[in-house]
Amino acid sequence: MSDLEKRSIPVIGITCGDLNGIGMEVIMKTLQDPQLMDLCTPVVFASSKVAGYHRKALDMQQFNFHLISSLDAIQEGKPNLLNTWQEPVNLEYGQESEEVGSFALQSIDAAIAAHKSGKIDAVVTAPIHKNTIKLKDRPFAGHTGYLGEETDGDPIMILAHEGLRVGLVTGHLPIRAVAEAITTEKVLAALRKMHFSLQVDFGIQRPKIAVLGLNPHAGDNGLLGEEEQTVIAPALATGQEEGIIVYGPFAADGFFGSGQFEKFDGILAMYHDQGLVAFKTLAFGNGVNVTAGLPLVRTSPDHGTGFDIAGKGIADENSFRQALFMAVDIWRNRSLHQELTANPLKKHRQPSMRGNN
C-alpha cells in the first residue's frame, strides 16, 4: 500500500516563491488558520531564517512554523517548515534578484523530490519571477513547463474558479508565434488532456467542453482566417468520435460576455490572453492555476509576485487559500478515481469539501 493510500488527509508541499514578493505573506496568512490542519498537513520548503525575516517585517510574530530538518519529522496538525537550505538570503522587498531566484528554484526542486519519494501528495506553488531563475542548460519558462520536464509529465494549464475552468492550447508564446503553433494535433492533445482532467481531477463524469476559435468571429466562415475550418474543426471531430462532448469553435469575443461559458464544464482557449483576460476579469483574486497532466497535483494562486505591495502586509491571501483547498480536492478526486478504477464495482462518491465539483 502506498503512502497516498495510507493517509487520511494529504500532505501538501508549499514552495516559497520569490522571497522578495508576497509569497511568504500569503502562505503565513493562510496557514495561521488552525482549521486548515483538519484538511491537510502543510509543509513549506524554505528556511527558518527567511521565515523569521518575513514574520518580523509583517508583524506576524504570533505565527509559528513547526521547524523540521527531515521530511520524516512532519507532524500532523501543524504548519511544518522544512529547512531546505542553511545559507543566508539577501532580501529586499519588491526587487528582482537572481540570488533570490536561485532559492525559489531550490524550493521547487525540493518539493519535486519530496513528491517523487512519496513524502508529499501535492504541491502548491507561491508566485515566482521568471526572469530571476536561471537554468544551466535551458531557459526557465515558468512552473508549468519546468514541472512537466522534471516529472516527465505532459502538462496543460487550467485556470479554475467554481464552475469556470479555462484551459490553454498554447501557453507563454508571443502573439506572432501563436497561429503557427496551433495545429490539429496540438488542439486534439489539449482537448484530450482537459477532458481527462475534468473527469479525474474535478470529478465530472461527462464534462461538456467548449473550444474557442483562433480568429475574430471564429474566422467568419473563412473571411477572417481558415484555422477554424482546417485546423480546429478536425480536432473537435476526432474528439467527438472518441466520446468527448465538445462544441465549437466559438467566436471568443462574445463567448464570455453573453454568458455562454456557464453552459460548459470547461473552455479550451487557443492562446494565453484569449482565455485568461476573460477568466481574470470574472474571477481575479479567487482563481486557481491548476497544472493538469502531471503525476503530481499542482496548484497555485492566479496572481504574480506582487512586488509593488510586498512587505506592506496588505496582500490578499484568498487566491492562495483557494489553491490549497483545490489541491486537497484534486488529491481526493484522484484518490477516489484510483480506488474506483481498481475496483470498478464500487460506486460511491466522496463529495468535494467545497461542493463545487
Residues 161 and 232 in one domain: yes
What's 301's domain CATH number?
3.40.718.10
C-alpha cell at 127: 508566485
> Model confidence at 171, in pLDDT bands (50, 70, 90)?
confident
Give the domain range for residue 214.
Answer: 156-291
Residues 257 and 182 in one domain: yes
Beta strands in the chain (DSSP E): 11-15, 41-46, 66-68, 80-83, 122-125, 156-161, 164-168, 208-212, 245-250, 266-269, 288-292, 297-301
> Model confidence at 2, in pLDDT bands (50, 70, 90)?
very low
Residues 332 and 191 in one domain: no
CB 66 within 8 A of CB 80: yes
Instruction: Please identify, among 273, 291, 309, the residue that sits at the C-terminal boundary of a domain.
Output: 291
pLDDT at 347 exceeding the cut of 80: no
What value does the mean pLDDT take over residues 178-187? Answer: 96
Residues 66 and 209 in one domain: no
What value does the mean pLDDT take over residues 95-119? Answer: 97
**pLDDT above 70: percentage of residues in the chain:** 94
What value does the mean pLDDT take over residues 273-301? Answer: 93
Tell me the pLDDT of the chain averaged across its residues. Answer: 92
When mean pLDDT is compared across 132-141, 224-233, 241-250, the lowest value belongs to: 132-141
Instruction: Please identify, among 291, 320, 340, the residue that sits at the C-terminal boundary of a domain.
Output: 291
What value does the mean pLDDT take over residues 95-100? Answer: 96
C-alpha cell at 220: 467568419
Structural domains of the chain, count: 2
Residues 4 and 111 in one domain: yes
Residues 172 and 223 in one domain: yes
Residues 204 and 167 in one domain: yes
Count of all residues that appear for the chain in the document: 357
Render pLDDT for 114-151 as a digit per residue (tens, 0 to 9).
999 999 999 999 999 999 999 988 888 889 999 999 99
Residues 163 and 82 in one domain: no
Instruction: Please identify, among 291, 311, 328, the residue that sits at the C-terminal boundary of a domain.
Output: 291
Residues 181 and 116 in one domain: no
CB 84 within 8 A of CB 70: no
Residues 23 and 115 in one domain: yes
pLDDT of 5 reads: 46
pLDDT of 353 reads: 46
pLDDT of 220 reads: 81
Which one-letter DSSP state was computed for residue 34? G
Residues 21 and 137 in one domain: yes
Residues 283 and 299 in one domain: no
